């Protein structure tokens, strides 16, 4: 097993060296992307996401649950996204070439997500049941976009791949993404991938900054999670099934508000 472990270490070290560091910048600091993202092809992950996104939309359309372009709630979501997306490139240069999409699905689910490649979906349940303000919608959207920008699905797939290296380990060391191709190509469902608490903390903070830079009040992230906590007193919303909540989370957001409030104030003034 020692040679195998050495090869894995070399592969991860190579991924680390190829991961660009965020320069010193104003706002939150969450460090570099995980080295495990280097085990999976970004292009293949985004292609898989597009395929699965299209399937979700087809199924929604078949159930007459896909909102048409003139739906006021969908127009609202797309307007908020248009303000947030320009600030995504600072977090991931690939985002410049993503074909961003925002769609609304009629469902009582209190849920929203963003697949790799900028494929966003909201469910009417999260808007209607929580009665979200635009600032709170921006907090949700920023959080979900942050998962895509930080490539958390790719990281999760990379970690899964690393647990079953087998004969592909040498190919991984010599060619980035070789292992991950088997995991993704095997039909991994991106919507069922679970994120770690570290992933969730990163998404909270990056989402906080994205919303602030877009001119949405980042303090709305606190009221959002207060609403989510209240909703969880009954049957926990689906959004909470992969988003650990609680006072600790809110406290973490509050600690970082001073880092993003100046960005929000400047954005409000058109700066």
Cβ atoms < 10 Å from Cβ of 138: 29
Return the closest-CA partner of residue 104 out of 57, 154, 38. Answer: 57
Of residues 46, 101, 136, 144, which has the active-site annotation? Answer: 144
Residue with tokens 């929604």: 60
Question: What's the full length of the chain, in residues?
Answer: 271
Q: Answer for the pair 95, 88: CB distance below 8 angstroms, yes or no.
A: yes
Contacts of 213 (CB under 8 A, 6+ apart): 27, 87, 260, 263, 264, 267
* Dist CA 123 CA 101 (whole Å): 14
Q: What is the DSSP string of 248-262?
A: HHHHHHHHHHHHHHH
**Is 144 a residue of the active site?**
yes
Q: Is 47 exposed, middle or buried (0-12, 13-18, 19+ CB in 10 A)?
A: middle
Active site residue ranges: 144
């Amino acid at each position: 097993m020692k040679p195998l472990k050495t090869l894995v270490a070399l592969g991860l070290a190579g991924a680390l060296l190829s991961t660009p560091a965020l320069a010193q910048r104003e706002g939150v600091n969450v460090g570099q992307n995980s080295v495990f993202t280097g085990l999976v092809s970004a292009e293949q992950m985004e292609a898989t996401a597009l395929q699965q996104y299209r399937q979700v939309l087809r199924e929604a359309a078949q159930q007459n649950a896909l909102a048409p372009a003139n739906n006021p709630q969908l127009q609202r979501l797309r307007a908020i996204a248009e303000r947030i997306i320009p600030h995504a490139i600072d977090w991931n240069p690939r985002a410049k070439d993503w074909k961003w999409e925002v769609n609304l699905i009629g469902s009582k689910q209190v849920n929203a997500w963003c697949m790799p490649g900028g494929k966003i979906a909201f469910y009417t349940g999260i808007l209607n049941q929580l009665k979200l303000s635009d600032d709170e919608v921006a907090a949700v959207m920023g959080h979900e976009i942050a998962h895509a920008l930080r490539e958390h699905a790719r990281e999760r797939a990379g970690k899964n791949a690393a647990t079953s290296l087998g004969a592909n380990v040498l190919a991984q060391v010599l060619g980035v993404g070789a292992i991950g191709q088997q995991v993704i190509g095997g039909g991994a469902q991106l919507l069922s991938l679970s994120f770690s608490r570290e992933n969730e903390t990163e998404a909270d903070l990056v989402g906080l900054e994205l919303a602030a830079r877009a001119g949405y009040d980042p303090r709305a992230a606190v009221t959002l999670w207060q609403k989510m906590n209240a909703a969880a007193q009954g049957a926990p919303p689906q959004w909470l099934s992969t988003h650990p909540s609680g006072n600790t989370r809110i406290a973490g957001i509050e600690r970082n508000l001073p880092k993003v409030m100046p960005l929000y104030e400047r954005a409000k003034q058109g700066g």
